Structure 1
Amino acid sequence: MRLGIDDQAILDGRDGPVLQKVMKTLVMYGNVLGAETLVPIEGSGHFAIHHVLPGIGPRLQMLEELVSAGLTTKFPFTLDPRPPLDFENLALTQQQQDTFREMFADQKQFEAYMSQLGLRDDEAYSCTPYLPEVGNIPRRGQVLAWSESSCVVFANSVLGARTNRNAVIIDLMSNIIGKTPYTGLLTDEGRKASWLIDVRTSALPHPQLLGGVIGKRVVDAVPWIAGLERFLEEDIGGSTTDYLKEMGAACAALGAVGLYHVENRTPEARDMGRSLLRPDFQTVIVDDDVIENALQSYPVMWKKPESRPERCIIGCPHLSLREIYRWLKQIDETLASHGKKTVALSVTMCAAPQVLKEFSKDKAATDRLTELGIKLSPTCPEAFMGNPHCSRESVMTSSNKLRAYSSAKLQRDEALLNAIATGSSDPERL
Structure 2
Amino acid sequence: MKLSNEEQQILAGSRGEMLQQVMTTIVAYGEALEADRLVDITGMGHFVIPHALPGISPSMKMLDALIAAGLKTLKPFTLDPVAPLDFKNWWLNQGQIDSLKHMYRTQKQYDIRMEALGLWNPKAWTCTPYLPEVGNLPGRDDVLAWSESACVVFANSVLGARSNRNGAIMDLLCNIAGKIPLSGFLTDKGRRATWRIEVKTDRLPPPQILGAAVGKTVLADVPYIVGLDRFLGDGINSQTWDYLHELGTAAASTGAVGLFHVENITPEAIDYKTDLLTGEYKTVTIDDRTLHELTASYPIMWKDKNAAPAKCFLGCPHLSLNQLQWWADKIHELLIKHGKKHLAVNTTICSAPQVLGKFIEKKQGWEILSKSGVRFSAACPMQVFDNNLSMDDAIITNSNKLRVYTHARFFPDEEIADIMITGRIRRNR
Q: What is the TM-score when the length of structure 2 is the normalising length?
A: 0.98
Aligned equivalents of 2:86, 2:235: Cα separation in 1: 37
User: Aligned letter for 1:154?
Assistant: F
Q: Report how far residue 6 of structure 1 moved.
A: 1.2
TM-superposed CA distance for 1:385, in Å, is: 2.0
Aligned CA-pair RMSD? 1.0
Q: Secondary structure at the match of 2:296?
A: helix
Superimposed CA distance per residue, residues 340-360 of structure 1 (whole angstroms, 9 cap, x where no aligned partner) = 110001111100000000001
Conserved 8 A contact 1:40-1:180: yes
Give the aligned partner of residue 219 of structure 1. 219
**Distance in 2, Cα, partners of 1:31 & 1:303:** 46
Deviations 1:34-81 (A, max 9, x none): 100000000100010110212211111111111111101010000000
Determine the structure 2 residue equivalent to 1:81. 81
* Shift in Å, 1:18: 1.3
| TM superposition shift of 1:150 | 0.4
Q: Is the 8 A contact 1:18 1:69 kept in 2?
A: yes
Measure the CA separation in 2 of the matches of 1:23 and 1:318.
34
Residue identity in the other structure for 2:155: A
Does the CA contact (< 8 Å) of 2:235 and 2:266 recur in 1? no
Instruction: Output the CA distance in 1 between the equivalents of 2:15 and 2:135.
Output: 33
Alignment of 1:30-69 (within 5 A): 30-69=30-69
AA aligned to 2:346 is S
Displacement, 1:428?
3.8
Letter of the 2:415 counterpart: A
Deviation at 1:17, TM superposition (A): 1.8
CA apart distance, 1:365: 2.4
For 1:289, the equivalent position in structure 2 comes to 289
Q: Which amino acid aligns with 1:24?
A: T
Change in Cα spacing, 1:26 to 1:428, as seen in structure 2 (3 Å) is farther
Give the structure 1 partner of residue 97 of structure 2.
97
Does the CA contact (< 8 Å) of 1:349 and 1:375 recur in 2?
yes
Q: Which residue of 1 aligns with 2:4?
A: 4
Gap runs ≥5 in structure 2: none
Which shifted more, 328-337 or 313-322?
A: 328-337
Is 1:343–1:421's contact at 8 Å kept on the other side of the alignment?
Answer: yes
Partner Cα separation in structure 2 for residue 188 and residue 364 of structure 1: 46
Cα distance between partner residues in 1 of 2:120 and 2:412: 36
Aligned residues: 429
Q: Relative to structure 2, which stretch is displaced further, 143-152 or 382-391?
A: 382-391
1:267-316 CA-partner distances (Å, limit 9, x unpaired): 00001110000010000100001101110111111111111100000000
CA distance in 2, matches of 1:294, 1:236: 28
Distance verdict in 2 for CA 1:81–1:19, change over 3 Å: same
Equivalent in the alignment of 1:384? 384
Aligned to 2:150: 150
Separation of aligned partners in 2, 1:324 and 1:387: 30
- Return 413-422 or 177-186, whichever deviates more: 413-422
Does the 8 A contact of 1:48 with 1:148 survive in 2?
yes
Using the TM superposition, name which of 2-11 and 150-159 deviates more: 2-11
Output aligned runs, 1:153-232, within 5 Å: 153-232=153-232
Preserved CA contact (<8 Å) 2:139 2:160: yes
2: CA distance, partners of 1:398 / 1:428: 19
Distance 1:392 1:283 in 2: 42
2:329 aligns to what?
A: 329
Shift of 1:132: 0.3
- Paired residue type of 1:141: D
Determine helix, strand or coil for the equivalent of 2:375.
Answer: strand
Q: Secondary structure of the equivalent of 2:232?
A: coil
TM-score normalised to structure 1 length: 0.98
**Distance of 1:268 and 1:332 partners within structure 2:** 39
Letter in 1 for 2:405: Y
Q: How far apart are the structure 2 equivalents of 1:113 and 1:271?
A: 42
Kept in 2: contact 1:415–1:426 (CA 8 A): no
Are the aligned partners of 1:100 and 1:387 in contact in 2 as well (CA < 8 Å)? no
Counterpart Cα distance in 2 of 1:97 and 1:187: 46
SS in 2 for 1:361: helix
Contact 2:123 2:353 in 1 (8 A): yes
What stretches of structure 1 move > 4 A for 4+ residues in a row?
Answer: none
1:384 deviates by 1.7
**In the alignment, which residue of structure 1 is the partner of 2:234?**
234
Matched residue type, 2:420: I
CA contact (8 A) 1:196 1:281 kept: yes
Moved more, 339-348 or 125-134: 339-348
Q: Which amino acid aligns with 1:212?
A: A
Give the deviation of 1:233 after TM superposition. 3.1
Structure 1 stretch displaced more, 360-369 or 184-193? 360-369
Pairing 1:362–2:362 present: yes
Please identify, of 215-224 and 10-19, the stretch whose mean Cα deviation from structure 2 is larger.
Answer: 10-19
CA contact (8 A) 2:344 2:420 kept: yes
The 8 Å contact of residues 79 and 126 in structure 1, kept in 2 or not, is answered as yes
Partner Cα distance (2:249, 2:266) in 1: 16
Secondary structure of 1:194's partner? strand
